Chain A
Amino acid sequence: MTEISVPQTTKPAPLDGRRGAPRMSLAKLAEAYALVVALLVLVGVFGLLRPEAFLSWSNISTMLGSQAVLVVLTMALIIPLTGGDFDLSVASMLTLSSMLIAVMNAQMGINIFIAMGTALVIGAVVGAINSWFILYFRIPSLIVTLGTGTFINGIVLWISGSMTISGLDQGLIDYVVVRRILGVPLAFYYALALCAALWYFFDYTTPGRRLLFVGRGREVARLSGIRVDRVRFYSLIASGVLAAAAGILYAGTIGAADPLSGLTFLLPGFAAAFLGATSISPGRFNPWGSLVAVYFLVAGITGLTILGIQTFVQNLFYGGGLVIAVALSQLVRNREAQDFT
């Protein structure tokens, strides 16, 4: 019958050796860590082909640091996804956040902390607007966030005059990509800390577990006394705030803000979220799986680029990755139809 997926990261082995206890079978273990193995294989292959370029520390640290933005954006996606909502406005929010910082800090000379704080607050406001339309009018989240995302894109073009704005506070850039620990930019550690925080939230707190129930069975959650609308409201706010945080990292990573490039993160984010859901805790959106998925996708693209393959490979890899990842996660769920509206 239904495949049994035990999240190995969360459930301790039972104390007594009772029958039916969650024993990790080899197959389960292989399933949970297949993506990790695939990542290592990918690194190994590119390392053999182009050791000097691919395995150079500067390449690796650049990959780890520059893609921290994508990790944070993926975290912004998996919170509402766990609760059964799509947030397609995250990449737009990321762009708005980085542009707000650039306009406030570089153009208007406002203190960088105030600019960052404003960006986070706007992220929360966007989340609140999304959830108002989704929860009050009962519109599918997919449609609402598609609309608000496009609306935000318009605002970004408006406030930036369709121009790239540079001249950001050097302090921000320092604390995102210049300063390093063990040779890796700080941005990577921010992303790592966020993964750990979300792991804690999903697996070891009651609100995290409520969010999971809301995503898997709205009516069950409601009749079990969970305030479903409130949970979804907060998940969408969290999504907006994390997307804004990703925008701050993005501004710090490139030292400027442009009105369009951030939008290309949306598809890789979804690809990583769904690919991540096949890994570590198969069948569930989970932060560590997403982290592995981001770097799997990035390693693939970086390696192919180093081999001299043209840039269209990015689209092939991300687009193909998303569809294959969802297909894989459906296999994990025994092809049970998912309702994401």
Chain B
Amino acid sequence: MKAAPLKRRTPGEPSALSLRHLSKSFGGALALDDVELEIMPGEIHGLLGHNGSGKSTLIKILSGYHTPEPGAEMLMRGEPVPLPVPATAARRLGLAFVHQHLGLVPSMTVLENLLLGAIATETHWWLDWRRRTAAARALFAQFDLRIDPAARIADLPPVERALVAIVRAFEEIKAADSGGGVLVLDEPTPFLPKAGVDQLFDLIRRIVHNGAAVIFVSHDIDEIMQITDRATILRDGRVAGSLVTREASHDDFVERIVGRSLDLYHRNRTDPRAGEVCARISGVSGAIVADASLDLHAGEVLGLTGLIGSGFDELPYLLFGARRASAGTLTLHGLTHKLTALAPPEAIGAGIALLPADRLGAAGVGSLPVLDNVSLPVLDEFFQNLLINWTAVFGRAAQLGRSYEVRPNAPALNLASLSGGNQQKVLMAKWLQTAPKLLMLDEPTQGVDVGARQQLFKALGAAAAAGTAIVVASTDYEQLAQICDRVLIFARGRIVAELVGEAISKETIGEQCLRSGAFNGEGRTLEEPVA
């Protein structure tokens, strides 16, 4: 595909950032395949693509977290940059990042947060607070922002927090020797209300007016069309297109993001509504989820998805009692549970299981053996004659390891010493051995290679065939298309679309999510969610 023309302000002006032949493979799978990217000073450049398209890998190479494959080139203002990008070089090169989580310390003041980078690197002994406060005020005034440097971050509304993070990043690149600089904004908008997004865009325009370049990463096509000059779309690790925003239509973007995928493996879908209704969820509300109601059928695999911040990944935690719901009930096999009072022990007692996304932070303990991790929910079964029968526990763990193809199948190994895919097999076995009536999984295959994925899917399929209702929350559309009988799409905490049976594909899910993004924009006048 022909790259869109560059917007040069003066003839022969070097680009702010230029990447060539950028590839990155993880265990044989190419996450980035010969990607090129060129960004001019004063340009706002959009970066789009689905989860797994290589977007975050590219950002992580820029931030020095990943090392690209040999042969890659990176230039900033015509100067070659060594790869991997040295950890301390970002500031010198004029490269700054604002991630979704902003990297602010909520309990400290705006000024202290602004100075964080300076405090970490400057060698001055003395902190002149008065001068610094005045400088911060002047800085905010330059962008017409009225933010009190003495306010605590935690007391600011979400928009102002994002603005502080962006201004801070701008200050960092301004301090660079080379002038200009590149500011990377990695999905800064999902938690912001519409008015806040406008304010943020205003700030971004002022920043590029001062000569910096901005890379704006987003899922949201409307935002990309509103703010960027040009945009690069990644798909399956390759550049799927580079567009001049002014000349492109919404459909141009969708087509390049979704692409034309071939030979997808499909689960032999059953009509979910053929099974009996085993769970009825009604009126569930949480921090983001608002009044969600749905029915689950025995043996069904249901996908939950949407854009980040839409609340699809909150629902499983609410139904398990892991996060307290503000309203709603769950009726499972005729028994009704009030979600406002549900806690994990009762949920487990009712036959519900949850496999959280945070594998070693919430799902299993890395510093304990597989044996202990896998046996935790069923340990009571092995308590005989006033003793835990460890021989029997070991036998169970080894047997589960065999049937879920855990490699190496050594239950005495610590969980953390296994690969991500094998950890996930262990943790899935941990819950599947309890034969739950409802199993919910949050991003079950994050960081899991293709081969192990198929084994995990097989295990889920077998559990569904045995009558378990399975709920998978994920932003991996390909995975959802592969394993789900039905997919629900969330936006602003509500279910906005449903795909059933043959209507499900990576493309249709992607389209529905993008359309929900448009809905998102209109829905932004809703009260601000808690970040």
A interface residues with partner B (beta carbon < 8 Å)? 1-6, 10-12, 14-16, 18-22, 200, 203-206, 209-210, 212-213, 216-217, 219-220, 222-227, 283, 333, 336
Contact call B348/A11, Cβ cutoff below 8 A: no
Contact call A224/B414, Cβ cutoff below 8 A: no
CA distance A227 to B347 in the complex (A): 12
CA distance A5 to B365 in the complex (A): 14
Complex interface: chain A residues within 8 A of B363 (CB): 220, 223
Complex interface: chain B residues within 8 A of A12 (CB): 390-391, 394
Contact call B387/A6, Cβ cutoff below 8 A: no
A sample of 10 cross-chain residue pairs with beta-carbon separation below 8 angstroms, ordered by A number, consists of A1-B417, A10-B390, A11-B371, A15-B391, A18-B398, A205-B383, A216-B365, A217-B362, A219-B361, A225-B344
Across the A-B interface, give the 6 residue pairs with the lowest CB-CB distance, nearest first: A20-B410, A22-B412, A225-B348, A217-B365, A216-B365, A225-B345
Complex interface: chain B residues within 8 A of A205 (CB): 383, 386-388
| Cβ-neighbour of B379 out of A4, A20, A203, A209 (below 8 A) | A209
Closest A residue to B416 by CB, please name it: A2
With contact pairs A19-B410, A224-B344, A224-B377 given, residues A14 and B365 touching in the complex (Cβ less than 8 Å)? no
CA distance A12 to B377 in the complex (A): 21
Contact call B344/A206, Cβ cutoff below 8 A: no
Asked if B264 CB lies within 8 Å of chain A CBs, one says no
Complex interface: chain B residues within 8 A of A226 (CB): 345, 376
Asked if B372 CB lies within 8 Å of chain A CBs, one says yes
User: A2 to nearest B CB, angstroms?
Assistant: 5
Contact call A20/B412, Cβ cutoff below 8 A: yes
CA distance A219 to B323 in the complex (A): 12
Closest A residue to B322 by CB, please name it: A223
CA distance A211 to B383 in the complex (A): 16
User: A218 to nearest B CB, angstroms?
Assistant: 10
| Cβ-neighbour of B408 out of A1, A20, A336 (below 8 A) | A20
Complex interface: chain B residues within 8 A of A222 (CB): 322, 344
Complex interface: chain A residues within 8 A of B398 (CB): 14, 16, 18
Asked if B354 CB lies within 8 Å of chain A CBs, one says yes
Contact call A206/B383, Cβ cutoff below 8 A: yes
Asked if B19 CB lies within 8 Å of chain A CBs, one says no
Q: Mark B211-235, 1 if CB is under 8 A from A, else 0.
A: 0000000000000000000000000
User: B324 to nearest A CB, angstroms?
Assistant: 12
Contact call B376/A213, Cβ cutoff below 8 A: yes
Residues in B351-409 with C-beta less than 8 Å from chain A: 354, 356, 358, 361-369, 371-372, 376-377, 379-380, 383, 386-388, 390-391, 394-395, 398, 408-409
Q: Mark B115-137, 1 if CB is under 8 A from A, else 0.
A: 00000000000000000000000
> Can you name 19 extra interface pairs (CB under 8 A) apart from A4-B412, A15-B395, A222-B322?
A11-B371, A12-B394, A20-B410, A20-B412, A204-B387, A204-B388, A206-B383, A209-B376, A213-B368, A213-B376, A216-B367, A217-B365, A219-B358, A220-B361, A222-B344, A225-B347, A225-B348, A225-B349, A227-B345
Complex interface: chain B residues within 8 A of A2 (CB): 366-367, 414, 416-417
With contact pairs A220-B364, A224-B377 given, residues A4 and B414 touching in the complex (Cβ less than 8 Å)? yes
CA distance A21 to B367 in the complex (A): 18
B interface residues with partner A (beta carbon < 8 Å)? 320, 322, 343-345, 347-349, 354, 356, 358, 361-369, 371-372, 376-377, 379-380, 383, 386-388, 390-391, 394-395, 398, 408-410, 412-414, 416-417
Complex interface: chain A residues within 8 A of B414 (CB): 2-5
CA distance A336 to B360 in the complex (A): 14
With contact pairs A14-B394, A18-B398, A206-B388 given, residues A220 and B379 touching in the complex (Cβ less than 8 Å)? no
Contact call A6/B412, Cβ cutoff below 8 A: yes
Complex interface: chain B residues within 8 A of A225 (CB): 344-345, 347-349, 377
Complex interface: chain A residues within 8 A of B348 (CB): 224-225
User: B78 to nearest A CB, angstroms?
Assistant: 42
User: B447 to nearest A CB, angstroms?
Assistant: 15
CA distance A18 to B417 in the complex (A): 18
Closest B residue to A20 by CB, please name it: B410
Contact call A209/B320, Cβ cutoff below 8 A: no
Contact call B388/A209, Cβ cutoff below 8 A: yes
Contact call A223/B365, Cβ cutoff below 8 A: no
| Cβ-neighbour of A212 out of B368, B387, B417 (below 8 A) | B368
With contact pairs A11-B412, A14-B394 given, residues A333 and B344 touching in the complex (Cβ less than 8 Å)? no
Complex interface: chain B residues within 8 A of A20 (CB): 408-410, 412-413
Contact call A220/B417, Cβ cutoff below 8 A: no
CA distance A224 to B343 in the complex (A): 11
Closest A residue to B431 by CB, please name it: A224
Complex interface: chain B residues within 8 A of A209 (CB): 372, 376, 379, 388
